[in-house]
Amino acid sequence: MKHSNPIIAEIFDAQQFAETGHQLIDLLAAHLKANIAGTSKVLNWKVPSIEDQHWHLPLPQKSTINPQGLLEKLSQEILPNNLAIHHPHNMGHQVACPLPMAALCDLVASLTNQAMAVYEAGPSATMLERQVIRWLCALIDEVSWSFAGGVLTSGGAQANLTALLVARQVSTSKANPSSNVWKDGITQQPALRILASEHAHYSVSRAAGLMGLGTNSVIKITTDKNGRLDLIALKNAHQTCLENQDTIIAVVANAGCTPTGSIDPLQAIGEYCQAHELWFHVDGAHGASALLSESHREKLSGIALADSVVWDGHKLMYMPAAVSAVLFKNEQHSYVAFSQDASYLFQGDNHEDEAFNLSYRTLECTKRMMALKLWAAFSLYGTEGMGALVDEAFAKAKVFAEKIQRKSSFELLMKPETNIVCFRFLNKKLSQEAINNHQSAIRQHIIQSGAFHITQVNLHGVTWLRTTLMNPFTTALDLDELLERVALGSQAVLSIAK
């Protein structure tokens, strides 16, 4: 059936969609193949302020391109100027080179557009999500997490916020059973505190700000030389809070912190939290995927003691961004964060009545069909295949660290626990401040050359170059080339400075 308006008929033309779609898949497949082969630059660097001038175009009142023109625009301008995410030299951020089949699932999700506010707005999407959540909880622990639950969210920052909202509600109610922070706010509460590693993701302090606690309510706990939370420092901070009559709403531990990939001593922290009845939250956005690996899951020993866990699919589960899970050991807690009336959506009298209406438990109302790609990956490859990707990434980090240690002109920050490696190029003639600036200058030189994509991190006043090794196609030769580029970049930067 064609619409009577020819413009609308063309917009929804299924045949045109099919023809353009086939050509688009061919284009993306060629792009993927070239990226993996590393035949071009990883980044076609352009000065953003200058490049922005090319995108000051008038709003189109009528069509300016046809579907073929769209494909040409993608092929000639947009794809070549993207970060080549599947390129072996892409070693920058904790963003996966996504599984191609998972990307196809996102196409299905986009076209079918299941809003998922309530069950009727996305029936199969809801069931897929519930299945994936059960699988993730089972990976944490099939026994102690047998009554667990949670939801998928658009990113780890939202997942951390959701978990901490629940922690705030549960912890304040425990301290004062007559209080209800969700309804009454925090003005009548004692000071509310979050104890978190100094390497906690910025979304933890952002959540504190959003919750009206203030970012200063996050008490940063020092870490050891390997970037892991110091248990004695945690105990001391807890004691200080008790003396000040503050209420601790959560203790936040990292399972793969962003700066170094370090994993906090989850078993010890979890046991301490249990002994003192403190909410234990594990930010496993990056490192929880070690649970997929038979070789590395022991690194997360103690994660089952957590009250809540965050786990990103778009990191070491190799999903297209963004999909994150916020999981609760007690599924009933998953209803606490956003409990409120909205009669146009929720008609149930209790949590069980709303169990299938997912936006009852998440910040989002319209909610993307995120579970399909995770369900497909587990179904297509199993934990065996997905665990192999984790094993590959962790092994590559170990190899790279060993290469760095063998070079006298380089310094390794620490042996990697996951797939993040931090290092720096040494120059004994430079002061500490100058060495820090030198690392930044080297990175900028490499980034702008398009040879590699790496990042940097500042820890206790020292700047380190940082790599996140996620690409299965990065080889030992690529790692050798990176170290050569860093050394050459150092010379080039010093030459320019003169």
Is residue 430's pLDDT more than 90?
no
Is residue 97's pLDDT more than 90?
yes
Kindly state the average pLDDT of the residues 157-183.
91
Which band of pLDDT confidence, cut at 50, 70 and 90, is reported for residue 350?
Answer: low
pLDDT at 362: 83
Is residue 137's pLDDT more than 80?
yes
The whole-angstrom separation of Cα 203 and Cα 225 is 23
Which band of pLDDT confidence, cut at 50, 70 and 90, is reported for residue 494?
Answer: confident
pLDDT at 264: 98
Kindly state the average pLDDT of the residues 66-95.
96
Contact 159, 326 (CB under 8 A): yes
pLDDT at 209: 96
Q: Where are the beta strands (DSSP E) in 20-108?
A: none
| Mean pLDDT, all residues of the chain | 93
**Which residue ranges make up each domain of the chain?**
110-378
The whole-angstrom separation of Cα 319 and Cα 341 is 34
Kindly state the average pLDDT of the residues 28-53.
95
Residue with tokens 């070693």: 91
Is residue 352's pLDDT more than 70?
no
Other C-beta atoms closer than 10 Å to the C-beta of 30 total: 12
Kindly state the average pLDDT of the residues 331-346.
64
pLDDT, one tens digit per residue, over 215-236 is 999 999 999 999 999 999 999 9
Percent of the chain with pLDDT over 70: 97
Which band of pLDDT confidence, cut at 50, 70 and 90, is reported for residue 279?
Answer: very high
pLDDT, one tens digit per residue, over 386-404 is 999 999 999 999 999 999 9
Q: In what order do the strands lie in the sheet with 247-254?
A: 149-153, 324-328, 308-312, 280-283, 247-254, 192-197, 218-221
Contact 96, 314 (CB under 8 A): yes
Tokens (6 digits) for 483? 């170290």
pLDDT at 351: 57
Is residue 345's pLDDT more than 70?
no
374 vs 341, higher pLDDT: 374
pLDDT, one tens digit per residue, over 434-491 is 999 999 999 999 999 999 999 999 999 999 999 999 999 999 999 999 999 999 999 9
pLDDT at 324: 97
Of 270, 219, 282, 207, which is closest to residue 248 (Cα–Cα)? Answer: 219
176 vs 84, higher pLDDT: 84
Kindly state the average pLDDT of the residues 189-214.
96
The third-level CATH classification (topology) of the domain covering 110-378 is Aspartate Aminotransferase; domain 2 (3.40.640)
pLDDT at 342: 38
pLDDT at 289: 98
pLDDT at 206: 96
Q: In what order do the strands lie in the sheet with 455-459?
A: 410-412, 420-425, 462-468, 455-459
Is residue 346's pLDDT more than 50?
no
